[in-house]
Structure 1
């Protein structure tokens, strides 16, 4: 199905495992609290970006939104729950 960039969230192992079980072959996680994460670019092969709003630096959320728009990648803002994330991935199928 492709690759997903997950931004934010402190403990996302259960989310990454479930995404892999749904068929996503690569799940990249960027910590949402560290200020130096704003320097990271969105990899070209990423299908879409999930921003977990519960655990993210506001500046990073703004920068990721701008980078996603610039690279024409869909971006979704979700709460740290599987049901919220699952609703997004259902739209992507």
Structure 2
């Protein structure tokens, strides 16, 4: 499964933890570039988008939400901490995507 992470400059151990959950491909963009705010692109193989809400502005988050909705890609908003993300993934039932 492929996951796109948006926000945060550094992921810390999140990437490793996602791989241990069986996620094979992880793409990450910081969302700091002006181009990321208006034209958000993600690979067609993306099964889930995770937005770290404490590291992204409202305009970028809104654009990502609209793009994900139009493409039919599930979206999760979480804080940039493994415990927050893990709780959201469990609530989302990650296994249904795999």
TM-score by length of 1: 0.90
Is the 1:37–1:60 Cα contact (8 Å) retained in structure 2? Answer: yes
Query: What is the correspondence of 1:1-93 to structure 2 with a 5 Å cutoff?
Result: 2-38=1-37, 39-90=39-90, 91-93=93-95
TM-score by length of 2: 0.85
* Larger deviation, residues 66-75 vs 13-22: 13-22
Is the 2:6–2:31 Cα contact (8 Å) retained in structure 1? Answer: yes
* Larger deviation, residues 30-39 vs 15-24: 30-39
Q: Which structure 2 residue ranges, 5 or more long, are not aligned?
A: none
What root-mean-square deviation, in Å, do the aligned CA atoms of Structure 1 and Structure 2 show? 1.2
Tell me which stretches of 4 or more aligned residues in structure 1 moved more than 3 Å. none
- Matched residue pairs, number? 92
